Every structure is written in structure tokens, then in C-alpha cells.
Chains A and B, each alone.
Chain A
Amino acid sequence: MNIMAQTLQDKLAILSDAARYDASCASSGTTRRDSRDGKGLGSTEGSGICHAYAPDGRCISLLKILMTNFCIYDCAYCVNRVSSNVTRARFSVDEVVSLTLEFYRRNYIEGLFLSSGVIRNPDDTMGDMVRIAKRLRTVENFRGYIHLKTIPDASPEIIAEAGLYADRLSINVELPTDRSVQAFAPEKNPVTIRAAMGNVRGLRTASKDRSHTGKRPPVFAPAGQSTQMIVGADGATDATILTRSTMLYDDYKLRRVYFSAFSPIPDSTAKLPLIKPPLMREHRLYQADWLMRFYGFDLKEITSVALDGNLDLAIDPKLAWALSNRHLFPVDVNKASREMLLRVPGFGTKTVNRILTTRRHRGLRYDDLLRLGASLKKAQAFVTCVDWTPGGLTDSAGLRARFAPPPEQLTLF
């Protein structure tokens, strides 16, 4: 392997190619910072910015790269596993720092998402990553966003330092069950991964306590921690996946659990055959995740309508729930509680807020709902208002068929 001959261009190609399987590109929810004092570069103002979109429809907000794709672990789903023959490369600290700053100055990115293969041992690898973040913050006065993917086996002291420079820390649980982690990522230990997440949670809590003198400890990873699990590489059902993600949110106070449809990698292993990435399944899982976090649904309600443990791919989980609970509908838009309005298919959180403010002044009509942003194609079967009632539509047998895409005709061969 000839690494000496690689240019910066070559390395960037290899190490961004290796990073594309990480779903997260969030750059939001950290402390507000700017560089108005003229002594630094960058700002963060609450919401993140997607600076470009690739033809896979994903936002490009951060420079998402690996420090190196050399790795001593052999995880079957990973393009960088030790037994793969992909070309290897390694960035120097200077290279990562200068790429981040030069991209940032040209307004290409919001910051850096740095991950790495595990080289030598976890502490050395994590130590190098922390050095990059520290240099960006303390020497270059960089005030943009930094996300570090932590190595679960790294020692707590190094993680504690990482959180001083990074906005977000993440540790991937990789797969939905411990058994599949053991099967496909033999060197990774699900217990260690959880212990590391617990450690980060503890450090975040501690950073919010003032001491007896009222002094604040330094801010620790203000944008919180997140994780990712691969969907479709093992046999786990959506119910299993959502149960696990609910536990992760509760136990470790995660900001986000990302789902990543298992996607073909170059030089795959016979241990894990390639599949077409289950993108619709991934999408439905995100919808279910949203219902639980912002719409007041609990896990049981979602899984109760998931036949054989999997979400309906043809219709979204909120609609699936409403179709199985038609006795609760139609709801009167002018009287129903916020909780119930949130459960109407076709009403988003913004629409519900607007309904609640506007109905204080007058009774809402069908056309009003349109102007408030509701999707009435879905909602009309489930609501009544001043001049609208769905009549028999709510209970009609053909209601599901109105929403589900027509069955695909088999192609003649």
C-alpha cells in the first residue's frame, strides 16, 4: 500500500467516501456563537444550514470525513473493516484543520464531523481526534460546529476533554440488538457502547451543575449526543428497533437516534450479502420516531398497528394508527384538545398551533384549514368543522385504499 503518493485530493476522496455511511449531518441546537469581535471565524445561530444537497437527497452541512480509514476492527457492514481491500489513507492534523477552515471561509460548510477507524488502540485514535478539535478551537479560534464520533473504548478522561471542544459527541450503537452487534461487529461490545453513552450523559449533567460558589463548569458538548443504527442488515423488526431507540432516548438523554438503511458497500463480505437499501422502511421509522418525540404518541400505540412487528410501508404510521382507531374520529377542529388535534393525519405541529390560536377568534371552516397549512386530502376523513363533515367516509371500508399507492403490477418477463 503506497500512502506516500497520495495527494490531498486523493485522501479527501478516500476519506469522505468512507464517511458517507454516517447519516447525521445536523449542525443545529448548540450554543449561539459569533465572531463579531473580529478575532475568530464562524458562528452558530440555533438552526443549522444545509449548504448543498447531493443527488441522494441528503443535506451536506458539515465536512464529514474520517481521520483515517485504517481500522483494526472487522465489522461486517463497514466499508473500512480490517478485512476489506479498499484503499487506505490518513489525514494529518494540519490537513484536517486547513480543509475545515478553508471550506468554511468559502461558505461551503457549517463545520466538521470527524470520525475515524480505530488504529493502534482506542485511546490513541480518540486522542488524535481531540487534538484536531482542540487546535481548531484554541489556536484557530474556530467558532463553527464540531461533531466528534467517539470511540466507545476510549478512556473517560479523553471523552471528557473531547466534550470541551465539540458541540456534539456521538457513539454508534450500530445495530438494534446486542446479538447482532456480537455477530457482525465481533470486536465491539454493546455493554461498553452503552457504558460510554452513560458516561457522556453523566458528564453533560455534571457540566450543568454550578459549584457552591456559583461558578459554572465549562460547557460540555452543548448540542448533546446522538447515535445511529443500521436498519435492514439483521432480522430485527421495526418494533424491536423502536423499542431500542426509545430506551436510548430515555436512558442516555440522546438528542437524536439516526436510522441508516443498510446500503451496499464496495468490497463487501460474504458474511453479510448486499441488499437494495430499505429506504422506505428507514423513512417510516423516522416518521414513527417523530410521532413519539413531537406528537405525544407512545411506543405501544405505534407498535400496536405494526403488523408482525413492522410498520406499514404503504401508508405513514400516523395514518395507520388513525385507521385502526376510527372510533376516536372524526374530531371537531373547533373543540378538540391539542393532544387529539396532533393525532389527525394531515395536521402537523405548526398547523395545530395555528388552529389553536385562530379558533379563539372564530369558528374554523374548510377553506380556513387549507390556509392554515393542513393537508386536507388526508385530514378530511378525520375532522369536522363549521361547513364540513366527513359523513360515512371515516368508517368506509375503502378508506385505506384512498391513501395507499395502487398495487404494483408485476412486470412481464
Chain B
Amino acid sequence: MHTIPLPRIGTWAAWRDAARALLAARVPPEDILWDWDGSANELFATDLPPPTTKQVIKVPADFVEMAQWVVWHKDPERFARLYALLWRLRLDKAIIADRADPDLARLRQMEKAVHRCKHKMRAFVRFRDLRTAGPRRSFAAWFEPTHHTVEPNAPFFARRFADMDWMIVTPDVTAKFTDGALTFHEGREKPDLPEDAAEALWGTYFQNIFNPARLKVNAMTSEMPKKYWKNLPEAQYIPDMIAQAEARVRTMAETAPTLEPARVARIREQLQEVAQPASWNILNAGLVACTRCPLHGPATQIVPGAGPHDAPLMIVGEQPGDQEDLAGVPFVGPAGQLFDHLAARAGLDRGAAYVTNAVKHFKFKEGAKRRLHVNPNTSEVEHCKFWLQTEVQLLKPRLILALGGTATGALTGTAAGVMKRRGTVEQTAHGPVLITLHPSALLRMPDSARPQAEADVIADLTLAARMLADMALVKAPVDATARSH
């Protein structure tokens, strides 16, 4: 029989060295008495010295990982159990992967218990400020761990609370961190620590973050077992919090709604005036990141709408063309130029309107010399409608001018019969929509048909200009009264 003494501080290193030597000397488990901190029964102790071989022993990494936690378990059998498994592993290394092996399962259970204890210590240690003079602040805590977890756990506290001195006193071992150096000392009785005013604030927080309508006492005690309560400053409030919860909820339910405070009306008025000031920014940020449909892939960039954010007229085209895609600005290509020309002839100020497209990425196929326009499909229009709707919500235009089938479809729900519907105003969820032809359609027409089509579009644009003028007249007196106040 070999008696192996193991110290309370530094247990892991001592056990590892001893186990290594015993294994090298082929000492079977039944011939070893592990004497942790002088706790072994001396009846069985013998003076056979421990072997001292320094031979290299190979054991599975998983075993070492597990053992360095299991040694801190409070079960006196832990060292013997670990060595017994090590003894078996010598012949069959695969056991370490067999989670259902009863010996291993028991050790894994112990490992789990130590991990839980470690975790609870990290959670429930409560420091008090010692208010000492000096360049570093110093704190101390009293804690009662279930297992011997102070030593393996102290480095965690050292990593976290490195700019202060601290001490964790337990009945088992005391950890001290002074000027960046971590040391271990014998355990002690509970010291008298000075009162700390922060505990009252913490108690206030604990009581107020609690929602009395969701009382689940078991969920609390399973995670914060009662054995820890005596050292938790906040736990003193728990009984009252539980006792009063039901009455507090009843009061909430029975209290009749109160009248709103007087300042509410004023705040509502202010809100009306500054309607979502930053939302255009948000819209643009969202547009830039848009990947709602596959068109974002091949296109150079998204082409957002452009124009004053208080414009009474919103003009909606189909999609950016080749030049718009490169410039990142709508209506700058040939169709845009034609539109500007026709608008000028109709007396419509294009610069005062907000212009945008139903689809905001350029869809094309590679041609021999240049990229050729391809009509967007229903799914693409549908995805992009999200942005169009946001633009309408933010701009709140008095009139929307839909150019061609795609825009008409996006705004009215159907693109059918645009030739027949042109020149008419349709009432939609977005407000009145005036339908006309797209300038690129004019560019693609045979020359014979174009003069008539141009005249039609000019007529439509003239109608738009007149409607806006009428609307401005109706609106004007209201504005005037508002200004006179």
C-alpha cells in the first residue's frame, strides 16, 4: 500500500505528478491510499514511499481536461476514481469516448458539478469596498463554495478585476490579488467586512427589475439555490417581493386608466412638425444595402430618387438605364433628357419634382457594344415596391406621375392598358396617380407615330402642371393663416 499525500493548495499538480509516477511504476489502484490534506484514515496508512519515476506517460487529452476539474470535487473518492479510470485507459484508450461507461459517466458527472460550482462562484461572489487609501482600490468578499473551486477559479477574477486589489475568503482557501500578483492562503472564518453603500443601490435595482406579473419562484431557486442566499445582499428582499407580487398585479389590473398629462397635447403638436427628420437618411442607408432581389448583383450601384424632400410632385419611371447606373442619379440618360425637354414645353418644373424609379437597380444583358436594357419582371417590381412605398410615405406628394407600364403597375396594381389609361388620374392608396407614357417608349417608336405620342405626353404634363397649380391655390390660404400665428 502506497500513501500519497496531496496538499489542499496545489492539489492538481500534486495529483498529476503522483498519478504519472504510479502509473509508470505499474501500481494498481487498490494499492494506493490518497491522503488529501491529512484526511486519510491512518489505520490503513503505510510508510511505503511513493514511487518517483519521471517516465513520460501518454494519456488521452480529454482525460487530462476532465481530471483537472474533477480533482476539485469535494467527494473524498475523487482521486481514486480518477486513477482507476486511468488504470483502465492504459489498456483501452477508447473508453474516454464512451459516454455511457459507468465509471466515466460518474466522473463526467463530478466534472459537471465542479463546473457548475465554478460558474456559480463567478456569479455569486459579492465584493465589498474596503475603502483603503493608496493608488489601487481594494475589495474583499466572503464566499462558501460547494467544492474546492477557489484555486482553479481565481485566475478568472484576476483577468477581470486586474486594476484593483481583491481577496476572496472562503472556509476552504483564500485567494489574494495584490498589485497584480495572485496568491493562495489557508481558509478562514467569515471576516467582518465594512458596510458598503453600493449594496443598497444594488438591492433597489434587484427589486425594481423584477416583474411581479411573471412570478416563477422555482425558476429562480433552480438557478440561484437557497444555499447561496446568505451571502447575497439582494436575497434579503426576495420573501417580500414574492409576498407582494400578487397584490401588485391586482392593483395594476384594477386601477382605471388615468387622464393623460397636459403636456401630451403640446408634444403631439411638436411631433407633427418634425415628422421623422432622419428617415430619409435611413431610407438611403437601407437602399444602399438592399439585396431584396438578384438585380443588385450585376448593377453598378443602386439609383435612389432625387429632388426636394417637400416636392408636391413625385415622378416615377421604370428603372435606371445604362447612364443612370453609372452616375447613380435618375433621369440623366437619353430618356431623361427627352423628358426634361417635353416637361419644359408643358411648363412643368422638373427641378421642383422628386424623381425616382419603380425599380432601383439597372437590369440589362450584355450586348456587343453596350449593355442592353431588359424589362424588370413582376417579382423584381414587387420587391422594390417596398422602397417606393417608403418614398411616398416620407414625401407625401400631392400628385404622382407614373411614366409607362412598370410605374403604373407598381402604383395602381395593374400595368394593363396603359395606352388607354394615359391622361387620366386614378385614386390609389398612395394618393392621385396621373398616368402617361414613358419617354423611352417615344425613343423606340417609328418616326411616323412619334409626333402624336409627344403631343399626348405634353398634354398629360400640362394637365399635371395645372393640377399642381390648382392644389397650391387650395392649400395657400391655409398656409397663410398658419404663418400669421
Are B125 and A107 within 8 A (Cβ)? Answer: yes
Bound Cα distance A42, B283 (Å): 38
Q: Mark B213-236, 1 if CB is under 8 A from A, else 0.
A: 111111110011000000010100
Shortest Cβ gap from A4 to chain B (Å): 18
User: Which of these, B100, B160, B201, B257, contacts A99 with CB under 8 Å?
Assistant: B201
Q: Is the CB of A56 within 8 A of B100?
A: no
Q: Does B245 contact A (CB under 8 A)?
A: yes
**Main SS at interface, chain A:** loop
Question: Counting CB contacts under 8 A, is A281 at the interface?
Answer: no
Question: Which B residues lie within 8 Å of A364 (CB)?
Answer: 100
Residue B238 at the chain A interface, CB threshold 8 Å: yes
Contact A20 B211 (CB under 8 A): yes
In the assembled complex, B253 has its CB within 8 A of some CB on chain A: yes
Interface-located stretch among B14-22, B264-272, B403-411:
B264-272
Give the CA-CA distance A11 to B241 in the complex, in Å. 20
Tell whether, in the assembled complex, residue A57 and residue B220 are in contact, meaning their CB atoms are under 8 Å apart: yes
Distance between Cα atoms of A263 and B216 in the complex (Å): 14
Of B127, B128, B215, which one neighbours A56 at CB under 8 angstroms? B215
Check A49 against B122 for contact (C-beta < 8 Å): yes
Is A28 among interface residues, defined by CB-CB distance under 8 A?
Answer: no
Considering the chains assembled together, what is the distance between the CA atoms of A64 and B234 in angstroms? 16
Contact of A103 among B160, B198, B232, B283 (CB under 8 A): B198
Bound complex: CA A51 to CA B121 (Å): 9
Q: Is the CB of A20 within 8 A of B257?
A: no
Count of B interface residues, CB-CB < 8 Å: 90
Which residue of B127, B209, B223, B257 has the most chain A CB atoms within 10 A of its CB atom? B209
Q: Whole-angstrom distance from the CB of B441 to the nearest CB of chain A?
A: 31
Interface centre among A16, A63, A83 (most CB of B within 10 A): A83
Task: Tell me how far the C-beta of B66 lies from the nearest C-beta in chain A, rounded to whole angstroms.
Answer: 14
Q: Assess whether B208 is interfacial by the CB under 8 Å rule.
A: yes
Asked whether A267 lies within 8 Å of B255 as measured between CB atoms, the reply is yes
B379 contacts partner chain A, Cβ-Cβ < 8 Å: no
Closest to A154 in B: B278
Comparing A187-195, A284-292, A334-342, the segment that makes contact with chain B is A187-195
Task: Answer whether residue B286 sits at the interface, using C-beta atoms and an 8 A cutoff.
Answer: yes
In contact, A35 and B285 (Cβ under 8 angstroms)? no
Q: Which of A106, A122, A358, A367 contacts B128 (CB 8 A)?
A: A106
Chain A contributes a number of interface residues (CB within 8 A of B) equal to 95
Q: Which of A212-220, A238-246, A269-277 contacts B (4 or more CB under 8 A)?
A: A269-277
B199 to chain A: closest residue by CB: A106
Q: How far is the CA of A72 from the CA of B204 in the complex (A)?
A: 27
**A81-107, CB under 8 A of B: which get 1 and which 0?**
011110000000000000100110111
CA distance A103 to B241 in the complex (A): 22
Question: How many whole Å from B105's CB to the nearest CB in chain A?
Answer: 4
Measured between beta carbons, the chain B residues less than 8 angstroms from A202 are 285, 288-289
Please determine whether B276 and A189 come into contact, CB atoms closer than 8 angstroms: yes
- Contact residues in B for A153 (Cβ distance below 8 Å): 276-279, 282
Interface of chain B: mostly helix, strand, loop or mixed: helix
Return the CB mask of A19-30 against B: 1 if under 8 Å, else 0. Answer: 111000000000
A199–B210 contact, CB under 8 A?
no
Which residues from chain A contact B119 at a C-beta distance below 8 Å? 49
| Candidates B98, B162, B279; contact of A192 at CB < 8 Å | B279
Question: Residue-by-residue, is B373-396 near A (CB-CB < 8 Å gives 1, otherwise 0)?
Answer: 000000000000010011001000
Chain B hits for A45, CB < 8 A = 156, 159
Min CB–CB distance A269 → chain B (angstroms): 6
Task: With A41-B161, A195-B285 as known contacts, state yes or no: A82 contacts B238, CB within 8 Å.
Answer: no
Q: Does A9 contact B (CB under 8 A)?
A: yes
- Would B253 and A361 count as touching, CB distance under 8 A? no
Q: Which of A13, A52, A83 has the most CB of B within 10 A?
A: A52
The chain A residue sitting closest to B292, CB to CB, is A251
**Quick check: A42 and B160 within 8 Å, CB to CB?**
yes
Q: Does B35 contact A (CB under 8 A)?
A: no
B43 within 8 A of A: no
Q: Which residue of B lies closest to A47 (CB)?
A: B119
- Taking a contact as CB atoms under 8 Å apart, the answer to whether B261 and A85 are in contact is yes
Within the complex, what minimum Cβ distance (angstroms) separates A5 from chain B? 17
| Bound CA–CA A199/B127 (angstroms) | 41
Of B102, B264, B393, the contact of A83 (CB 8 Å cutoff)? B264
A57 touches which of B158, B218, B241 (Cβ 8 Å): B218
Is there an interface contact between A107 and B252, defined as CB atoms closer than 8 Å?
A: no
> Which of B122, B162, B253, B271 sits near A187, CB closer than 8 Å?
B271
**CB atoms of A16 and B100 under 8 A apart:** no
**Closest CB in chain B relative to A18 CB, distance in Å:** 9
* Complex interface: chain B residues within 8 A of A84 (CB): 258, 260
Q: Which residues of A contact B207 (CB under 8 A)?
A: 13
Would you call B161 and A16 a contact (CB within 8 A)?
no
In whole angstroms, how far apart are the Cα atoms of A16 and B196 in the complex? 21
Q: Is the CB of B281 within 8 A of A156?
A: yes
Rounded to whole Å, the gap between the CB of B107 and the closest CB of chain A is 12
Given the complex, which residues of A lie within 8 Å of B386, measured CB to CB? Answer: 191
0/1 per residue, B96-130, Cβ < 8 Å to A?
A: 01111010010000000000000100111111110
Query: CB-CB < 8 A to A361: which residues of B?
Result: 94, 97-98
Residues of B436-477 whose CB lies within 8 A of A: none
| Interface pair B277/A268, CB less than 8 Å apart | no
Q: B261 near A358 (CB under 8 angstroms)?
A: no
Residue B332 at the A interface, CB < 8 A?
Answer: no
A37-59 to B contact mask, C-beta < 8 Å, 1/0: 11111110100011111111111
> Which of A107, A196, A368 is close to B282, meaning CB atoms less than 8 Å apart?
A196
Q: Contact partner of B224 among A52, A106, A194, CB < 8 A?
A: A52
Chain A residues, Cβ within 8 Å of B220: 53-57
Given contacts A55-B210, A357-B99, A358-B98, contact A266 B279 (CB under 8 A): no
Check if B100 sits within 8 Å of A358, measured CB to CB: yes
B208 touches A189 (CB 8 A): no
Interface residue A378 (Cβ < 8 Å from any Cβ of B): no
- B276 nearest in chain A by CB position: A153
Q: Does A298 contact B (CB under 8 A)?
A: no
A337 to chain B, nearest CB (A): 19
Verify A105–B137 contact, CB threshold 8 A.
Answer: yes
Q: Tell me if B164 is interfacial: C-beta within 8 Å of chain A.
A: yes
Name the A residues within 8 Å of B390 (CB-CB): 191, 195
A39 with B217, Cβ < 8 A, contacts A59-B223, A371-B100 known? no
| Chain B residues near A123 (CB-CB < 8 A) | 277-278
B216 partner residues in chain A, CB cutoff 8 A: 55-57, 279
> Roughly how many angstroms separate A346 CA and B241 CA in the complex, as a whole number?
35
Residues of A within 8 A of B480 (CB): none
Residues from chain A with a CB closer than 8 A to the CB of B242 are 55
A80 nearest CB across to chain B (Å): 13
Which residues from chain A contact B352 at a C-beta distance below 8 Å?
none
- Evaluate whether A53 and B219 lie within 8 angstroms (CB atoms) in the complex, with A34-B159, A82-B267, A153-B276 already known: yes
Q: Which single residue of chain B is at the shortest CB-CB distance from A279?
A: B214
Contact (A35, B162) CB under 8 Å given A268-B257, A361-B97: yes
Q: Can you give 25 contacting A-B residue pairs, CB < 8 Å?
A: A9-B201, A16-B205, A20-B209, A20-B210, A35-B160, A41-B164, A51-B124, A54-B220, A55-B210, A58-B219, A60-B206, A63-B205, A85-B261, A103-B201, A105-B137, A106-B198, A154-B278, A156-B281, A192-B276, A199-B285, A199-B286, A261-B214, A268-B255, A277-B214, A369-B100
**5 closest A-B pairs (Cβ-Cβ)?**
A57-B219, A57-B216, A368-B100, A202-B289, A195-B286
Given contacts A45-B159, A54-B211, A362-B98, 11 further A-B contacts (CB under 8 A): A12-B205, A13-B207, A14-B208, A54-B241, A85-B260, A107-B125, A156-B282, A274-B253, A354-B99, A354-B100, A371-B99
